[in-house]
């Protein structure tokens, strides 16, 4: 029979989606508290793990994600309905972003 390991933490964050990741990022930047993040998915990103592949952000990528790391590079779209504005990240870009945050930051 395996031994159960008891974990202690200051914050238990349920969900590694946009809100959970932003909260964890703020904790790392502004406190010395520890945290545990749990999620039903095998990787971070929340609903972006199962969103339709054609779905993009409805706002500029500049204003999405966690405070410590920009999503995108303020690239200006040169065509389409968003022409002349900062790009709208795709679901694949957002998933890769959250995976990188989890690996590098958390």
Counting residues of the chain whose pLDDT is more than 70, the rounded percentage is 99
> What is the model's pLDDT at position 94?
93
Express each pLDDT in 25-60 by its tens digit: 999 999 999 999 999 999 999 999 988 778 888 888
Nearest-angstrom CA–CA distance, 100 and 104: 6
**2: confidence class by pLDDT, cuts 50, 70, 90:** confident
Q: Answer yes or no: are the C-beta atoms of 51 and 97 closer than 8 Å.
A: no
Q: Give yes or no for residue 87 having a pLDDT over 90.
A: no
Averaged pLDDT of the chain: 90
> What is the model's pLDDT at position 104?
94
């Amino acid at each position: 029979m395996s031994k159960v390991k008891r974990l202690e933490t200051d914050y238990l964050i349920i969900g590694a989606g946009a809100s959970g990741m932003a909260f964890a990022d703020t904790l790392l930047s502004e406190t010395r508290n520890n945290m545990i993040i749990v999620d039903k998915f095998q990787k971070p990103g929340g609903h972006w793990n199962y969103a339709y592949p054609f779905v993009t952000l409805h706002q500029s990528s500049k204003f999405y994600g966690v405070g410590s790391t920009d999503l995108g590079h303020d690239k200006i779209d040169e065509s389409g309905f968003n022409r002349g504005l900062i790009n709208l990240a795709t679901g694949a870009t957002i998933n890769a972003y959250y995976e990188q945050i989890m690996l590098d930051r958390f």
